[in-house]
Structure 1
C-alpha cells in the first residue's frame, strides 16, 4: 500500500522556492479525496510526517500544512517541529475564543501561522498579531478591492502570499501591491509524490520503538501507545507472566514499571519489530532477534552494558529498514537512537558497529574476518555458545510474539 501527497511550491519575488504547500491525496489522480478536512490532515501527518518527515517531503524548505478546526484545537501541529512548517488555518474554521487561545499558544511556541484564503472580514483582526503569512486568493477579488483591504490591515506585521496566480501580468501587479510570496499555476502545478505507507497500527509500533530507544523512558507515553492496541497490551502482560513474575498487575503502566527499565526497553523494541514484520520475510525478524541477543551478549562480555541497552538495539534495528521498506538513513532519522547506535547501523563504526560486523561475519561463515574481529574482544570470548544461545532465544521469542 502506498501513501500519496501533492506539493505545490511557493515562490518569492525572485521566483525562488521558499516552501511547499502539502496537499493530501489518496491516489495517483492528484485530486483531493471526498473526505473531511480533519481526516485529510490526520492522514497527511500520520502517513508522511511520522514515516518520512515533512522536512524530507518539503526538501528542507517550509512546509505549509492545512489544519481544520478539530486538529487545531487538539494541538495536532505540535507533533511537528516549529522550524519545519507553517500552520495554515483553513478558511472554513470558525473564529472563536478557543481558536484564538490556540493560535496565541502556537505562536508562543514558535510556530508560524497563516490564514488561508483570507477574506478580510474584521472578525479575523484579533488573530492578525499572531499571523506570519496572510494568504489571499486573488481570484476572489479584483486588484482594486485587494488594495483597499490591504490598506486597512497594513499596520499588522504579516507577509502577504498571493494564491492562484495564473499570469505574468498578475504577478507583476501583485508585486506592486506589496505581495512578497506567490503560488499558482503560473509558477507550477502541484507535484505528486508517492511513498510506501504504513497503516496506523504500524505507525503506533514505530512510535513504540522510538520511545523504547530513548535514554529515559516516559511511562505515561508508552502506556498510552500500548493502550491504543489491545494486542500490544495483552502481549506485554503475557510476556511478564511468561517471565515468571507473580505479582498481580493493575494497569499497563504498572506492568511496565514492574518489569524494570532495561528489560522493558528490550521487550518493547522487539515486540514492536515483531508486529511491524507483518508481510515481510520471517527470516528478517529471526535474524534481527539473533543479532540483538548476540550483540547484547558481546557487550556484556566486554562490560559495555548501557542504558538504553545500545548493543541489543543495534542488532535488533539492523533490519528494520528492510522490514518496512524504507531507506535506512531516513528511517533512523525518525528514531531517537543514541549516535553510537546510528553510527553502528549506518557505517558499522564504533564498538557496537564492531559487534554487528562480527555477527554478520558469523552469519556469512566468513571465518578469516571472524578471527580478525575476535582479536579485539577480551580474552576468553567463546562465540559458538553465545551464538547458539542467541539462536535459541530468538526462537523462544518468536513463539511469544
Structure 2
C-alpha cells in the first residue's frame, strides 16, 4: 500500500511527512514560496522579470517584444514551433518572431511568451506549474464576466500570482522589481479592485472555499472555466514539453 498525506499546507509539513514515510502528497504547500534567508534573484530570475516588465508595458510594440524575445534562442525556438503547430491552424508556416506577432497579435504573443518563460523556471514542480496555468487560464476565461477587465491582463495576473512560489521569494519583494500597472499590483498584493476580486474568486473556487466567493453567481462560470482550463493545460504542457 502506498501512503498519501493530505492537507499538506507548508514545506515543513511536507518534509515531516516525507520523514514519516509518505510517498504521495496532497495540499497547497507547493503553491507557497519556500523562503530561504539571503536568497536573491539569479540571472535567470532577473531575465524573466525583465521580460514580464516589457510584456506588461503599455508602450510595448511588436518591435520591442521581438527584440527582447530574440535574446533567448530557446524561447524563440519553442515559440515558433508552438505557433506553427496544429493548435493555431495557420495557413502558412511562420519563420520569424515578427511574422508571429503579425499572425497572432500582440496580446496572444504576450501570453505565450510569458507562459513559456515562466514554465521553464528551474526547480519548479510540475504540480505548481499546472496549478498556476489553470489559475491563469481561469482568470482569462472569467474576465468575460467582468466588462472592464482585459482577458490578457487577467491571464498575466493569474500567472504572476504564483511567481513567489516559483522564485521562492516574498511577492512584495518581487513586485518592487516588477513595475507592473497599479491595477495588477493591487490585485496581487491586496486582492482588491475588480481584478483582485476576479483573482480571489478563482483562487477560492480552486481551493473549494465556496463560502468565500464574493459573487456566488459566478459559480457556474467558474466551474466551466476550470473544466476548460484543465484540458487546456494538459494540451499546453504537452506542446511545451514536446518542443
TM over 0.5: yes
Does residue 373 (structure 1) correspond to residue 215 (structure 2)? The answer is yes
Does residue 332 (structure 1) correspond to residue 175 (structure 2)? The answer is yes
Shift in CA distance, 216/257, structure 1 to aligned 2, threshold 3 Å: farther
Aligned equivalents of 2:165 and 2:143: distance in 1?
25
Q: 3-state SS of the aligned residue for 2:42?
A: coil
Q: In structure 2, which of residues 204, 208, 221 is the aligned counterpart of residue 361 of structure 1?
A: 204
Segments of 5+ residues of structure 2 without an aligned counterpart are 1-36
Aligned equivalents of 2:93 and 2:204: distance in 1?
44
Q: Is the 8 A contact 1:301 1:381 kept in 2?
A: no
Q: In structure 2, which of residues 224, 231, 234 is the aligned counterpart of residue 392 of structure 1?
A: 231
Q: TM-score, normalised by structure 2?
A: 0.75
Q: Is the 8 A contact 2:136 2:154 kept in 1?
A: yes
Q: Cα RMSD over matched residues?
A: 2.2
Task: After superposing the two structures, state which structure 1 stretch, 219-228 or 316-325, moved more.
Answer: 219-228
Shift in CA distance, 224/382, structure 1 to aligned 2, threshold 3 Å: closer
Shift in CA distance, 218/334, structure 1 to aligned 2, threshold 3 Å: farther
Segments of 5+ residues of structure 1 without an aligned counterpart are 1-192
Q: Is the 8 A contact 2:143 2:149 kept in 1?
A: yes
How many residues are treated as equivalent by the alignment?
Answer: 202
Structure 1 stretches (4+) deviating beyond 6 angstroms? none
Give the structure 2 partner of residue 321 of structure 1. 164
Give the structure 2 partner of residue 165 of structure 1. none
Greater relative contact order, per chain length (Cα 8 Å cut-off, separation 6+)? 2
Aligned equivalents of 1:295 and 1:211: distance in 2?
21
Aligned equivalents of 1:340 and 1:352: distance in 2?
7
How far 1:202 sits from its partner (Å)? 4.0
Aligned equivalents of 2:99 and 2:184: distance in 1?
29
| Equivalences for residues 227-266 of structure 1 within 5 A | 227-242=70-85, 243-266=88-111
Does residue 298 (structure 1) correspond to residue 137 (structure 2)? The answer is no
Give the structure 2 partner of residue 270 of structure 1. 115
Q: In structure 1, which of residues 206, 228, 232 is the aligned counterpart of residue 49 of structure 2?
A: 206
Give the structure 1 partner of residue 221 of structure 2. 382
Q: Is the 8 A contact 2:186 2:193 kept in 1?
A: yes
| Equivalences for residues 84-103 of structure 1 within 5 A | none
Give the structure 2 partner of residue 348 of structure 1. 191
Greater Rg, structure 1 or structure 2? 1
Aligned equivalents of 2:201 and 2:164: distance in 1?
20
Does residue 220 (structure 1) correspond to residue 63 (structure 2)? The answer is yes
Aligned equivalents of 1:330 and 1:369: distance in 2?
27
How far 1:194 sits from its partner (Å)? 4.5
Aligned equivalents of 2:66 and 2:130: distance in 1?
27
Q: Give the strand-richer structure, 1 or 2.
A: 1
Aligned equivalents of 1:260 and 1:208: distance in 2?
17
How far 1:354 sits from its partner (Å)? 0.9
Q: Is the 8 A contact 2:164 2:170 kept in 1?
A: yes
Q: TM-score, normalised by structure 1?
A: 0.47
Aligned equivalents of 1:333 and 1:256: distance in 2?
29
Shift in CA distance, 318/336, structure 1 to aligned 2, threshold 3 Å: same
Q: 3-state SS of the aligned residue for 1:196?
A: coil
Q: 3-state SS of the aligned residue for 1:342?
A: helix
